[in-house]
Amino acid sequence: MQLGLIGLGRMGGNMRDRLRAAGHEVVGFDPRPEVTDVPSLAELAAALEAPRVVWVMVPSGDPTRSTVRSLAEILEPGDLVIDGGNSRYTDDGPNAELLSAKGIGYVDCGVSGGIWGKDNGYGLMAGGAQEHIDLAMPIFDALRPEGPREEGFAHAGPVGAGHFSKMVHNGIEYGLMQAYAEGFELMEAAPLVENVPAVIQAWSRGTVVRSWLLDLLVNALNEDPHLTELEGYVDDSGEGRWTIEEAITHAVPLPVISAALFARFASRQDESPAMKAVAALRNQFGGHAVKKSAGPAGAPGDHAGPSSGSGSTH
Amino acid sequence: MQLGLIGLGRMGGNMRDRLRAAGHEVVGFDPRPEVTDVPSLAELAAALEAPRVVWVMVPSGDPTRSTVRSLAEILEPGDLVIDGGNSRYTDDGPNAELLSAKGIGYVDCGVSGGIWGKDNGYGLMAGGAQEHIDLAMPIFDALRPEGPREEGFAHAGPVGAGHFSKMVHNGIEYGLMQAYAEGFELMEAAPLVENVPAVIQAWSRGTVVRSWLLDLLVNALNEDPHLTELEGYVDDSGEGRWTIEEAITHAVPLPVISAALFARFASRQDESPAMKAVAALRNQFGGHAVKKSAGPAGAPGDHAGPSSGSGSTH
Amino acid sequence: MQLGLIGLGRMGGNMRDRLRAAGHEVVGFDPRPEVTDVPSLAELAAALEAPRVVWVMVPSGDPTRSTVRSLAEILEPGDLVIDGGNSRYTDDGPNAELLSAKGIGYVDCGVSGGIWGKDNGYGLMAGGAQEHIDLAMPIFDALRPEGPREEGFAHAGPVGAGHFSKMVHNGIEYGLMQAYAEGFELMEAAPLVENVPAVIQAWSRGTVVRSWLLDLLVNALNEDPHLTELEGYVDDSGEGRWTIEEAITHAVPLPVISAALFARFASRQDESPAMKAVAALRNQFGGHAVKKSAGPAGAPGDHAGPSSGSGSTH
Amino acid sequence: MQLGLIGLGRMGGNMRDRLRAAGHEVVGFDPRPEVTDVPSLAELAAALEAPRVVWVMVPSGDPTRSTVRSLAEILEPGDLVIDGGNSRYTDDGPNAELLSAKGIGYVDCGVSGGIWGKDNGYGLMAGGAQEHIDLAMPIFDALRPEGPREEGFAHAGPVGAGHFSKMVHNGIEYGLMQAYAEGFELMEAAPLVENVPAVIQAWSRGTVVRSWLLDLLVNALNEDPHLTELEGYVDDSGEGRWTIEEAITHAVPLPVISAALFARFASRQDESPAMKAVAALRNQFGGHAVKKSAGPAGAPGDHAGPSSGSGSTH
């Protein structure tokens, strides 16, 4: 079938390739002339037969919202817009309402799979009315991995349920990654395991912890066994934050996912103001040595063990 | 090759089957007459040609330690004992020393895979001298999953490294399980996702969070979509505790794995003494209502939202 | 000076008493005829000379917002409204704007001290313009504890800064309470400390952990040494949630305050859906026993120790 | 009364002063000639009349254990040794047994108060037999703060209970400090509160969070309002680690105290290996940019907000 696809970046470009390989006719739009198929959204609409299905794959937030607003002007009753980006689910209701006023349908679709999805297929979680899901099903089927549909696609619920599911998926992802990372650090810290990458690779089959993320960790350690070339600096794209905020709304305890998010925040700090305050307090009550920012860092020695020789009692 | 196998429970029994299916001659011993091949450890030793390889697969702690002591009396120089149970790695040094005094070798081997290992193979992490690893390699090869050896087996390091690796593996496992569980709870708590099991099943292929544990969660939700038949009560087998203790020794922060362990502890409490103390404090300073243990539980209403209508300011 | 005081509940009633004891003329309004001084807001306004200062002490959220809207109709240019409730700081901007359009000033004031403030005085954190702070300073001075002004009152910043400070104060409070509570639980769980209340009381003077909250814990344990009469059920009033949300906005890691909030969420669950999921997973991979919701709970025995005798290896 | 006091460092020296000021006769020993009263332990024993009471105030671990061994040789039946250092409570049983074989009594006493104890008095938690507690009570009374005995001294239980109580005290202390520190960081990160030190000082009286630690934080912020001169580097003396280990033994969830401990561990890392692993994973699945250790750090920009403009969807 025909699909309009807006946004031909890392994800959108790959999706265009995968859809075309599956025999679909994709008309792509991107502001970069070197990758776009049409010069404007209007010409994208003109190139598609009604009822049009247009997939939006641009950064979440303002870029997606303004694209939806443009489509509300350009598309016609009976057409369908799918937001496949990482939008917060709270954007979906307003988007759907805006389009619905013009008779245009709306589906939100969480998409997982990263740069590997082009070949492996993408896991999809969609929210919207059944008729809109049905209209786009050939596209979903081409994007999702081969195998039973239900193992790579879900109609999660009404508008918003797709992005909500993707948000939770990413929250879980934070926790999974942090769990592996903590295990890696502990094995690196203890002298007993001589070949940490080999142990992690041996978890690839048969073990309880085998997973695709584990396979990726094996890949990374093959390239750099002690990850010496990387900084321990980790960005976050917002989905983890929204997950915690949603948990707070529903009074759901998420100790693991929040710990994973906070570890990312901390990874981006050169200095922790909180730990300065703790250092200041220890200095105040116990005369414990503090490290002054100015001057040489000194030789703190082996800090794995508690500083039991300090003779301090407070 | 020949193998003596001590302990024919859920794990040992399956391993015997898998090894025999691979063409190995397994002489199994278990105190239960209905499953054992030989009536005693002495007859197990007698049934094997030197150099004997004897795999111990009994509960960790005293049962394993006493089995090793018995084997030190029964086996001969040149023989090899492998502890495949979930022993703490700190048991391995003493075990190896005891056996070494008799000229008997020792390997510790972490085994992962649960009841599925019989068919899928087990992930293996071994610690010990290279010559001992080599001696038992045909057994390792039969137990591990098919495919490249390094994806299901690692020689992790010297004696103790196998169990250390398995300990970390299980610590990671705690974190992974808790991450999925938190995501499940959040989706169940929010009304938007109408079909939580379908969403989780759609993560089976293509997504970043796909894993064997996810597949098992899909299985569990197929049987009981809201897990209504289960209690939220989770035991722990010790490996998670050891992981945290090891992290403390090496000053490694493990926020996720510790949160997962503490969630298990809390799951087993009918009442939290800590939260009683918090309730008592709130009552003291603010006159906040507390729930008395005696008497009817009352109707606390919808506690997802904060009790903003209480008018309390403290 | 004269003060209009709206809301004569636990906090407002005490504040009226304290202010009158300090010689101020307080005209209180409350919907309950038995406590109010005037029958309506209009008569409250009529009873005060311009420029009027009116302190709002009603539940946060809609009650406070609607009170402010009413005051915008009733008061006159040059008057001042102070919101002393536990409003979220994001309400302050809109409130101030609404009043400012009528020429009425606005100050937000966080108030801490609970039911003890009547006698001890209240800690105050105010946000707003200097001229408005100055206008109300006699009231602040009467409400705050005796001693240096700066030890019980701060002009924290512009409108919103008072409630923001109070929000952080309460977030800290969550962490402090949880810290004491965890220590209490650990001492209760370990057999070595025979008289836990005595130990906690001995921390009242001289120690690093002495505090007012500790004094309150001592009081509570005097009444009920093992807190047997309380349920471990803890509500939350919203400030802890807002603190975490604010931390997420600013990428500040708050592991302790979030853990304290999540412990409250968990305290209100009869069953944890997350832990059901973990139990289901363990059952799936290892055949670990699960507790079924239906039927008798069985005799799980001493669960403090890990279930090492299970012989399970997964 | 007479007291032998071994160890005249920061704590021991102050205690000698406080005890002498209270009229007690203190014979102090320290290896440093410029502070010691006697040249050897033997002369310390000789200077005291039987039954002698000797207070050990040296670093925990080997120094304390070897001092106790020496005293077992030097003292006589009926004498009493008090370990007032920060020993792990598991040292107390062996120490008591060693001395008991010689007819010498043993008391363990947790001491809190830091450098302020000289003037304020020390909070004391003692473990041991009642007769030994009674023998030393004049010393305890002189060391503890003025006021009711039970507010500064507890006989916590048998040998070990004193140090156990002190361990828990310090675990709580970790949590309290981290709670204040997190609040400080959040206020510093948000622009609304213009004068963070003033707000914190305003919590000194009347508020729920008032405490001695808060007073110390006020002191520290008076000297350095943004703590710019300190590094966010925090040592730990072992008590927090033991607290978590004890919690694990008793299956007590300690999310707050463990988070506080892990924050200290993390504060001492220049790079987090765990976060390197997370960065590596994100790079693997999503092509997310990673920061390479080598080369210039680049311009990460404002990382408080999630990197929503990345267009990444995975």
DSSP state of C150: G
Residue D43 among the catalytic residues:
no
Task: Report the pLDDT value the prediction gives residue D299, as an integer from 0 to 100.
Answer: 37
Do residue D248 and residue B244 have CB atoms under 8 angstroms apart? yes
Distance from CA of B162 to the nearest CA of A (A): 8
Does the pLDDT value for residue C312 go beyond 70?
no
- Give B140's contacts (C-beta < 8 A, 6+ positions apart): B109, B124, B126, B133, B153
Residue B180 or residue D303, greater confidence? B180
Task: Report the pLDDT value the prediction gives residue C305, as an integer from 0 to 100.
Answer: 58
pLDDT grade for B237, boundaries at 50, 70 and 90:
confident
pLDDT grade for A291, boundaries at 50, 70 and 90:
confident
Does the pLDDT value for residue A299 go beyond 90?
no
Mutation to test the B interface, candidates A18, A185, A205, most B Cβ within 10 Å: A205
pLDDT grade for C210, boundaries at 50, 70 and 90:
very high
CB neighbour burial string for A185-209, b if at least 16 within 10 angstroms, e if fewer: bbbbbbebbebbbbbbbbbbbbbbb
- Give B223's contacts (C-beta < 8 A, 6+ positions apart): none
* Mean pLDDT to the nearest integer, B181-206: 97
Q: Which of B199-213, C149-163, C295-309, D47-61 has the lowest mean pLDDT?
A: C295-309
Does the pLDDT value for residue C297 go beyond 90?
no
Do residue D275 and residue A181 have CB atoms under 8 angstroms apart? yes
Nearest chain B alpha carbon to A214: B211
In whole angstroms, what is the distance from residue B136 CA to residue B80 CA?
Answer: 8
Assess: ipTM above 0.90. Answer: yes
Nearest chain D alpha carbon to A292: D230
Residues of chain A in contact with residue D87, where contact means CB-CB under 8 angstroms, are none
Q: How many percent of chain C have pLDDT more than 90?
A: 89
Residues of chain A in contact with residue D307, where contact means CB-CB under 8 angstroms, are 235-238
Chains that touch C (3 or more CB pairs under 8 A): A, B, D
Phi, psi of D31 (to 5 degrees): -65, -20
pLDDT grade for C307, boundaries at 50, 70 and 90:
low
Give me chain A's average pLDDT, please. Answer: 93
Nearest chain C alpha carbon to D173: C209
Task: Report the pLDDT value the prediction gives residue B162, as an integer from 0 to 100.
Answer: 98
Q: Among the options B173, B229, B231, B245, which is catalytic?
A: B173
Q: Among the options B49, B102, B166, B271, which is catalytic?
A: B166
In whole angstroms, what is the distance from residue B244 CA to residue B224 CA?
Answer: 33
Does the pLDDT value for residue C304 go beyond 60?
no
Give me chain C's average pLDDT, please. Answer: 93
Do residue B59 and residue C229 have CB atoms under 8 angstroms apart? no
Nearest chain C alpha carbon to A282: C208
* Mean pLDDT to the nearest integer, C169-193: 98
Does the pLDDT value for residue C58 go beyond 80?
yes
Does the pLDDT value for residue C303 go beyond 80?
no
Do residue B251 and residue D265 have CB atoms under 8 angstroms apart? yes
Does the pLDDT value for residue B1 go beyond 70?
yes
D193 near C156, Cβ under 8 Å? yes
Do residue B253 and residue D268 have CB atoms under 8 angstroms apart? no
Chains that touch B (3 or more CB pairs under 8 A): A, C, D
Residue D286 or residue B239, greater confidence? B239
In whole angstroms, what is the distance from residue D157 CA to residue D89 CA?
Answer: 12
Residues of chain A in contact with residue C168, where contact means CB-CB under 8 angstroms, are none
Distance from CA of C1 to the nearest CA of B (A): 24
Task: Report the pLDDT value the prediction gives residue A112, as an integer from 0 to 100.
Answer: 96
In whole angstroms, what is the distance from residue D166 CA to residue D125 CA?
Answer: 7
For the segment D32-43, what is each residue's pLDDT rounded down to a tens digit?
999 999 999 999
pLDDT grade for D307, boundaries at 50, 70 and 90:
low
Do residue C237 and residue B185 have CB atoms under 8 angstroms apart? no
Distance from CA of A71 to the nearest CA of B (A): 26
What's at C288, amino acid-wise? H
My answer on whether omega of the bond before B191 falls inside 30° of 0, hence cis, is no
Phi, psi of B306 (to 5 degrees): -65, 150
Does the pLDDT value for residue A107 go beyond 50?
yes
Choose among B150, B160, B206: nearest Cβ to A144: B206
Please provide the DSSP assignment of chain D as one string. -EEEEE--SHHHHHHHHHHHHTT-EEEEE-SSTTT-SSSSHHHHHHHSPSSPEEEE-S-TTHHHHHHHHHHHHH--TT-EEEE-S---GGGHHHHHHHHHTTT-EEEEEEEE-GGGHHHH--EEEEES-HHHHHHHHHHHHHHSPSS-GGGTEEEEESTTHHHHHHHHHHHHHHHHHHHHHHHHHHHHHSSS-S-HHHHHHHTSSSSTT-BHHHHHHHHHHHH-TT-TTB-S-----SHHHHHHHHHHHTT---HHHHHHHHHHHHHT-SS-HHHHHHHHHHHHHH-----BSSS--------SS--GGG----
Residues of chain C in contact with residue A274, where contact means CB-CB under 8 angstroms, are 253
- Dihedral over Cα of A298, A304, A305, A306: its sign: positive
Does the pLDDT value for residue D300 go beyond 60?
no
- Give D229's contacts (C-beta < 8 A, 6+ positions apart): A292, A293, A294
Task: Report the pLDDT value the prediction gives residue D291, as an integer from 0 to 100.
Answer: 76
Instruction: State whether residue C83 is helix, strand or coil.
Output: strand
Task: Report the pLDDT value the prediction gives residue B289, as an integer from 0 to 100.
Answer: 67
Contacting D with CB below 8 Å, chain B residues are 208, 241, 244-245, 248, 251-255, 258-259, 261-263, 265-266, 268, 272, 274, 285, 314
* Mean pLDDT to the nearest integer, C89-108: 98
Distance from CA of D43 to the nearest CA of B (A): 39
Task: Report the pLDDT value the prediction gives residue B286, as an integer from 0 to 100.
Answer: 80
Task: Report the pLDDT value the prediction gives residue C287, as an integer from 0 to 100.
Answer: 74
- Give C80's contacts (C-beta < 8 A, 6+ positions apart): C51, C52, C53, C54, C104, C105, C106, C107, C132, C135, C136
Laid out side by side, the sheet with D25-29 consists of D25-29, D2-6, D53-56, D80-83, D105-112, D123-127, D153-157
Q: How many CB atoms lie within 10 A of CB B119?
A: 12
Does the pLDDT value for residue C313 go beyond 70?
no
